[in-house]
Amino acid sequence: MGNQKDQSTNIWIESLQTIGLSVVLALGIRQFVAEARYIPTGSMEPTLQVNDRLVIEKISYHLTVPERGDIVVFWPPEEFNVPGQPRNAFIKRVIGLPGDTVEVADGQVLVNNVALEEGYIKSPPNYQWGPKTVPPESYLVFGDNRNNSEDSHRWSDPFLPEDQIIGKAVVRFWPPNRLGLLKRQ
């Protein structure tokens, strides 16, 4: 009789250990490896649509640096944090790398005086900006919907510090008809 009670107790202990380990692994993966994110605004249209769901990987930027064209998730400048509200991450495309001089003029983005070929944008920018040189360990990021994006061209300090980057958007998993890898453009 006592043996049956010990087995019952062991099943509960094993179940709790399994659940506990699962929770720890899930939180560890989300914190250090990858996480799911959704797109709340149209700032990255047409590449990303409102309510798209993405996987953001967090490992590669510990081994390499972001490249022009990468779509990154990051913590925005303090001016966008609303006191008493949860901190929301932004998602934009890397345009300027450390040392680059970037300017927006006549509907084009110029990096080191060379116009970027940007087949991914919604429409050409309708503003003038720069030229500004990206400092070390910082990036310049723009939304693909250039005229409707809270990005580097609107920030009081336009440069995204490298340590504010959470990770790189690598795959869209929702909606199913748009499932696929997000490629650097």
Separation of alpha carbons 115 and 102, rounded Å: 10
Could you read off the pLDDT of 100-109 as tens digits, one per residue? 999 999 999 9
**Other residues' Cβ atoms within 10 Å of the Cβ of residue 77:** 19
Structural domain count, the chain: 2
Residues 75 and 113 in one domain: yes
pLDDT given at position 30: 47
pLDDT at 176: 86
- 100 and 125 both lie in a single domain: yes
- Looking at the structure, tell me whether residues 80 and 158 fall in a common domain: yes
Shared-domain flag, residues 28 and 3: yes
Average pLDDT of the residues of the chain: 85
Same domain, 52 and 76: yes
User: 130 pLDDT exceeds 60?
Assistant: yes
The tens digit of pLDDT for each residue in 44-101 reads 999 989 999 988 888 888 889 999 999 999 999 888 878 888 878 899 999 999 999 9
Which pLDDT tens digit goes with each residue over 140-174? Answer: 999 999 999 999 999 999 999 999 999 999 888 88
Task: Please give the residue range of the domain that contains residue 15.
Answer: 1-32
Whether the predicted pLDDT of 138 surpasses 70 = yes
Q: Are both 25 and 51 inside the same structural domain? A: no
Question: Counting beta carbons within 10 angstroms of the beta carbon of residue 160, is it exposed (0 to 12), middle (13 to 18) or buried (19 or more)?
Answer: buried
Residues annotated catalytic, as ranges: 43, 92
Question: Do residues 166 and 75 lie in contact, with contact meaning Cβ atoms separated by under 8 Å?
Answer: yes
Q: Is the pLDDT of residue 5 over 90?
A: no
Are residues 98 and 10 part of one domain? no
**Does the reported pTM lie above 0.85?**
no
Q: Are residues 61 and 89 in the same domain?
A: yes
Mean pLDDT along residues 119-123: 93
Same domain, 28 and 39: no
Alpha carbon 16 to its chain's center: 35
**CATH number of the domain to which 166 belongs:** 2.10.109.10
